Amino acid sequence: MKIALLSRNRNLYSSKRLIEAAEERGHETQVIDVLRVYMNITSHKPSVHYKGKELENFDAVIPRVGSSVTYYGAAVLRQFEMMGVYPVNESVAITRSRDKLRSMQLLSRRGVGLPITVYASKPDDVKDMIKMVGGAPLVVKILEGTQGIGVVLAETQKAAESVIEGFMGVKANILIQEYIKESSGADIRCFVIGGKVVAAMKRQAPEGEFRSNIHRGGSAEVIKITPEERSTAVRAAKIMGLNVAGVDLLRSNHGPVVMEVNSSPGLQGIETATGKDIAGMIIEFVEKNGQCGKTKTRGKG
């Protein structure tokens, strides 16, 4: 097969592993930096050009689009879909999951466990918002944050009020969330491929920290998940429409709650923690599903 890997950097662990796994299985790969792609969207025959050449005859495309390039990355992916190239994750599913508010609304509609979460744009009553999540301690998050930056634990009512007012004062988009104390600084990353959890790891925050992000000094280890956690992760990926997803769960007193569904989950942490060949599993999924022309949306929507 001829596989396009949409990635801004071919030297990243995940990109390298996917290329390696594809080539081991006899496929041809090309890494494409989405920001350098230009597209003809006016003609009847959609095309994608890169470095002076038309990109043709691809069977499948693996999008690894960072959150900072979601808008243009999704447009490039949509163009491939319009050309009948099979996307591992569809552009609509990626944009859906990147919108935290939209994705939580979709998950809640389908009854997936979520931490009690309140969104606001310009609320007149911060105290009432705090009451809605059950009071302090609570977590305040900046919507655009990644790797735990902009995630704050406010331990008292006063701290919560001033953090919320402070973020609003600088016009940050925020959500406030019930603090799942019983998860004790740990979260669970479930790696889903084609409707199955193929690997899971627990990330544990260091002493004195509640955020378990590896970038914040968290450590990862393999974990056995419960059937309920497994089905929650599978359902969350399915509701988002993602074939490949990293579903982050917290263990709460009221069962597993979904924190986030990631459409370009990193491979390094999960492969290192579990010793599994996740890149190989993604390529095998592409082999099974990516016969040319099998794309569902053809760039709709």
Contacts with ligand ADP, residue ranges (CB under 6 A): 115, 139, 141, 145-148, 151, 177-180, 183, 187, 205, 210-213, 248, 250, 259-260
Please provide the DSSP assignment of 2-38 as one string. EEEEE-S-TTSHHHHHHHHHHHHTT-EEEEE-GGGEE
Least distance in Å: CB of 62 to ligand ADP?
22
Grouping H, G, I as helix, E, B as strand and the rest as coil, residue 142 is strand
CA distance 287 to 146: 32
Least distance in Å: CB of 116 to ligand ADP?
9
- In this structure, the strands spanning 117-120 and 174-178 are antiparallel
Least distance in Å: CB of 300 to ligand ADP?
29
Using alpha carbons, list the distances in angstroms from residue 171 to 121, 140, 162, 264, 284: 9, 14, 14, 28, 45
Q: Which is nearer to ligand ADP, 17 or 141 (CB)?
A: 141
Q: Which is nearer to ligand ADP, 118 or 126 (CB)?
A: 118
Least distance in Å: CB of 262 to ligand ADP?
8
Virtual CA dihedral for 69, 234, 260, 135, nearest 10 degrees? 160
Least distance in Å: CB of 124 to ligand ADP?
24
Encoding tokens for residue 46? Answer: 């959609």
Q: Which is nearer to ligand ADP, 106 or 154 (CB)?
A: 154
Encoding tokens for residue 260? Answer: 């986030």
Q: Which is nearer to ligand ADP, 201 or 281 (CB)?
A: 201
Q: Which is nearer to ligand ADP, 60 or 174 (CB)?
A: 174
Residue 269 Ramachandran class (φ > 0 left, ψ -120 to 50 alpha, else beta): alpha
Using alpha carbons, list the distances in angstroms from residue 172 to 35, 112, 125, 150, 188: 26, 27, 17, 10, 27
Q: Which is nearer to ligand ADP, 12 or 151 (CB)?
A: 151
Least distance in Å: CB of 247 to ligand ADP?
11
